[in-house]
Chain A
Amino acid sequence: MDVVIGQLFTGLSLGSILLLAALGLSLTFGQMGVINMAHGEFIMAGCYTTFVVQKVISSAGVSLFVSLLIGFLVGGVLGAALEMGLIRWMYDRPLDTLLVTFGVGLVLQQLARDIFGAPAKNVLAPSWLSGGVDIMGAVVPKTRIFILVLAVVAVTVLAVVLKTTPLGRRIRAVVQNRGLAETSGVSSRFTDISTFFIGSGLAGVAGVALTLIGSTSPTIGQSYLIDAFLVVVIGGLGQIKGTVIAAFALGLLNSFIEYSTTASIAKVIVFAAIVIFLQVRPQGLFTVRTRSLA
């Protein structure tokens, strides 16, 4: 029994990490259709932000929460700068955004290497996050629970922003029908920048969370980028709901297969399952309903 509970929580926590990494992408890739290969490096920026903040604020607990805020801003500013500097000229050329942002990602990686050095940096987790909680015989690390809660909070805030605020309505309007939204007086430029700011800011938050699990190195973002893209594609473009379900489904599938096989085999089986799934439903779990498609 404790094995099932343990794997359930492992799956949920893996899912929550995937979700944090993919949430920002579901805005920039899913909703705007921009393939941002530098998203992983925005995650890395969040990691290094945590490292720098901890140098300034020595209390690990305080610095974690300050990092979450600053990590969001750092990621957001990088994303907005990328949008204003490069992406705005290539909204109709997704292949070009792929190459350009890939290049930007490499530049950011080298920048991190030059500033912080190639060896990985270690961020201390606050003492109240060390150890685990006993849940029905399975020990679940507190860091994992924190990340799960963080993912839930991030999704909730994002959903509320998109559903209820004027900015959220503008983002949805531009995504569904840019021409009509512009005609109705919505500034699509401002909306594009805001969407990028929020999406990349969420990558920064993901980065802060990742420092609780492993070490921070210039290439950390790359290991999460592909998984994040998969989650968004499986979830269905432009769907926060789909992203959430896909992230947790992948996390649980992976953890249960891994328990009975090995990490490498589990990855192969999960990838195979994704390929088959996309054959059956190329549009992903959900698709956005727009007037023009109706």
Chain B
Amino acid sequence: MPESRAARRHPARLTKALVAPTALALAGLLLTACGAKDDASTGSTAASCVDTSKNSIKVGSLHSLSGTMAISEVTVANSTKLAVDQINAAGGVMGKKIELVLEDGASDPKTFAEKAEKLISSDCVAAVFGGWTSSSRKAMKPKFESLNSLLYYPVQYEGLEDSKNIFYTGATTNQQIIPALDYLKQKGVTSLYLVGSDYVFPQTANREIKAYAAANGIEIKGEDYTPLGSTDFSTIINKVRSAKAGAVFNTLNGDSNVAFFREYTNAGLKAAEMPVVSVSIAEEEVAGIGAQNVAGQLTAWNYYQTVDSPVNKKFVSDYKAAFGADKPTSDPMEAAYASVFLWKNTVEKAKSFAVADIQAAADGVSFEAPEGLVTIDGSNHHITKTARIGEIRPDGLIYTVWDSGKAVVPDPYLKSYDWAKGLK
């Protein structure tokens, strides 16, 4: 009697079914390993192929246009484009029009590294504007160093890093997280609960927060991480509830914030009793979460759409004219916008597109950005920035409730803080 389909299916078919994904995964691993070897052998042959003989100069834009980080990074890529368009309309850089080469990092550090290499080696761009997650920056860093090119990285990050091939135009910790902690302390908060995505930035930021807390008599009631893109927060919310901390310090990134804040509100937790301070949600994310779910919560950034200055009013209206009247502007967008102008100003000061000339000329180059005047610190390639604490209002915009008054000098290694000794 011939075997029936069902008999063949169980369990032999299951075994087959499981063999396939395993085989695929192994093949993927092998390919990655081979890829890594290739990188090492070609990495040493770094020679600039930037073509400065034409009427235009190429620069790269490398952000996640897809995947879990797209919610945040698409707007940053738009903002880079706005700056490039404005510079081109005003005559370009040293008489050359900027030609923007767009690439998609797809929310995946490995893709960021590959695309960075492509932009530098085969597109021959003079500089790259890109990245959001620290993992993407860490993945790109060796490429920019070995191929000797320039990356302008526009997002606040955990600090403890510098590279002569990277300009950090977002905040480092002493321009964002430490002012936020100081603000909470001054408001009488004596205990914190730390929630973050499970990767470089939240882990490092939380180590710094814990060191600060230990030195300032603030109790850490708990610390939780979820995988990037995770949408299940009920357990963490239950833990936060029973911990009864003075505030929650939120270093979640991307889509996870939507699920986190919905769950937070639905569980009956309120901003008035246990505020959440976020360092990675801006105006664009507020719209995605739903303003009613985050109203009253705090954020720490250097820029909000509501910043009251003529430069910012023009930036906001230009952005809305280019990308839609309902599109908000945010901190990383502002930093990305300023990055392009800082690059332009440095090139013009150096009178050269060459990496070494730009590095030599960078110190003291400044730009009147929407957040206020920013200046490159040549010793660590970070920039001075104004620190601002904001409150999210039901209209979806963030309003400054405290600011540092003047631009804060960057201190990526927290050398000026005693409690930070021993952090690496």
- Determine whether the beta carbon of A262 is less than 8 Å from that of B13: no
Whose C-beta in chain A lies nearest to the C-beta of B257?
A: A215
Does any Cβ of A come within 8 Å of B211's Cβ? no
B289 contact set on A, CB distance < 8 A: 122, 215
Does any Cβ of B come within 8 Å of A6's Cβ? yes
Whose C-beta in chain A lies nearest to the C-beta of B21?
A: A98
Using a Cβ–Cβ cut-off of 8 Å, how many residues does chain A contribute to the interface with B? 63
CA distance A131 to B268 in the complex (A): 6
B17 contact set on A, CB distance < 8 A: 33, 35, 94-95, 98
Whose C-beta in chain A lies nearest to the C-beta of B14?
A: A237
Does any Cβ of A come within 8 Å of B28's Cβ? no
Q: Max chain A CB contacts within 10 Å: which of B227, B232, B242? A: B232
- Determine whether the beta carbon of B226 is less than 8 Å from that of A119: no
B71 to chain A, nearest CB (A): 5
Does any Cβ of B come within 8 Å of A194's Cβ? no
Does any Cβ of B come within 8 Å of A103's Cβ? no
- Determine whether the beta carbon of B262 is less than 8 Å from that of A177: no
**Contact code string B238-257 (vs A, CB < 8 Å = 1, else 0):** 11011000000000000110
- Determine whether the beta carbon of B225 is less than 8 Å from that of A237: no
- Determine whether the beta carbon of B287 is less than 8 Å from that of A122: yes
**Contact code string B1-29 (vs A, CB < 8 Å = 1, else 0):** 01111110111011111001100000000
A112 to chain B, nearest CB (A): 10
B102 to chain A, nearest CB (A): 13
**Contact code string A112-138 (vs B, CB < 8 Å = 1, else 0):** 010001111110110000111000001
- Determine whether the beta carbon of B268 is less than 8 Å from that of A213: no
Given contacts A10-B238, A14-B234, A141-B234, contact A119 B74 (CB under 8 A): yes
- Determine whether the beta carbon of A141 is less than 8 Å from that of B267: yes
- Determine whether the beta carbon of A141 is less than 8 Å from that of B6: no
> Quick one: which of B71, B198, B267 contacts A263, CB cutoff 8 A?
B198
What are 20 of the A-B contact pairs (CB < 8 Å)? Answer: A3-B238, A3-B242, A33-B13, A35-B17, A98-B17, A120-B255, A176-B6, A179-B2, A213-B262, A214-B256, A218-B66, A259-B239, A263-B198, A263-B230, A264-B225, A264-B227, A267-B227, A282-B14, A282-B15, A288-B10
**Contact code string A226-243 (vs B, CB < 8 Å = 1, else 0):** 000000010001100000
**Contact code string A245-274 (vs B, CB < 8 Å = 1, else 0):** 000000000010011001110010000000
Does any Cβ of A come within 8 Å of B92's Cβ? no
Using a Cβ–Cβ cut-off of 8 Å, how many residues does chain B contribute to the interface with A? 55
**Contact code string B39-78 (vs A, CB < 8 Å = 1, else 0):** 0000000000000000000000000011110110011000
- Determine whether the beta carbon of A214 is less than 8 Å from that of B9: no
- Determine whether the beta carbon of A144 is less than 8 Å from that of B234: yes
Seen from chain B, the residues whose Cβ lies within 8 Å of a Cβ on chain A are 2-7, 9-11, 13-17, 20-21, 65-68, 70-71, 74-75, 198, 224-227, 229-232, 234-236, 238-239, 241-242, 255-256, 258-259, 262-263, 265-268, 284, 287-290
CA distance A17 to B3 in the complex (A): 37
A210 contact set on B, CB distance < 8 A: 231
B392 to chain A, nearest CB (A): 15
Given contacts A33-B9, A95-B16, A214-B259, contact A119 B224 (CB under 8 A): no
A144 contact set on B, CB distance < 8 A: 234, 266
Does any Cβ of B come within 8 Å of A178's Cβ? yes
A246 to chain B, nearest CB (A): 14
Given contacts A94-B17, A223-B229, A264-B226, contact A215 B288 (CB under 8 A): yes
- Determine whether the beta carbon of B14 is less than 8 Å from that of A219: no
> Quick one: which of A3, A17, A33, A178 contacts B4, CB cutoff 8 A?
A178
- Determine whether the beta carbon of B262 is less than 8 Å from that of A263: no
A50 contact set on B, CB distance < 8 A: none
- Determine whether the beta carbon of B235 is less than 8 Å from that of A233: no
Does any Cβ of B come within 8 Å of A73's Cβ? no
CA distance A141 to B232 in the complex (A): 13
- Determine whether the beta carbon of B6 is less than 8 Å from that of A293: yes
CA distance A177 to B7 in the complex (A): 9
- Determine whether the beta carbon of A215 is less than 8 Å from that of B6: no
Given contacts A118-B70, A176-B6, A219-B67, contact A262 B224 (CB under 8 A): yes
CA distance A262 to B288 in the complex (A): 26
A3 contact set on B, CB distance < 8 A: 238, 242
> Quick one: which of B198, B235, B255 contacts A215, CB cutoff 8 A?
B255
Given contacts A124-B290, A264-B226, contact A119 B71 (CB under 8 A): yes
Whose C-beta in chain A lies nearest to the C-beta of B7?
A: A292
- Determine whether the beta carbon of B266 is less than 8 Å from that of A215: no
- Determine whether the beta carbon of B266 is less than 8 Å from that of A143: yes
Given contacts A33-B13, A131-B266, A143-B266, contact A13 B234 (CB under 8 A): yes
> Quick one: which of B16, B235, B267 contacts A94, CB cutoff 8 A?
B16
Whose C-beta in chain B lies nearest to the C-beta of A37?
A: B21
Whose C-beta in chain A lies nearest to the C-beta of B231?
A: A214
- Determine whether the beta carbon of B235 is less than 8 Å from that of A259: yes
A255 contact set on B, CB distance < 8 A: 234-235
A160 to chain B, nearest CB (A): 23
- Determine whether the beta carbon of B74 is less than 8 Å from that of A10: no
> Quick one: which of A122, A178, A218, A267 contacts B288, CB cutoff 8 A?
A122
> Quick one: which of B6, B67, B225, B239 contacts A175, CB cutoff 8 A?
B6
> Quick one: which of A98, A143, A258, A293 contacts B7, CB cutoff 8 A?
A293
- Determine whether the beta carbon of B258 is less than 8 Å from that of A120: yes
- Determine whether the beta carbon of B268 is less than 8 Å from that of A132: yes
Whose C-beta in chain B lies nearest to the C-beta of A224?
A: B231
CA distance A179 to B8 in the complex (A): 13
Q: Max chain B CB contacts within 10 Å: which of A35, A119, A142? A: A119
Given contacts A2-B242, A264-B226, A292-B3, contact A214 B11 (CB under 8 A): no
B74 contact set on A, CB distance < 8 A: 117-119
Given contacts A237-B10, A237-B14, contact A217 B68 (CB under 8 A): yes
Given contacts A139-B241, A264-B198, contact A290 B7 (CB under 8 A): yes
- Determine whether the beta carbon of B10 is less than 8 Å from that of A177: no
CA distance A180 to B6 in the complex (A): 11
Whose C-beta in chain B lies nearest to the C-beta of A17?
A: B232
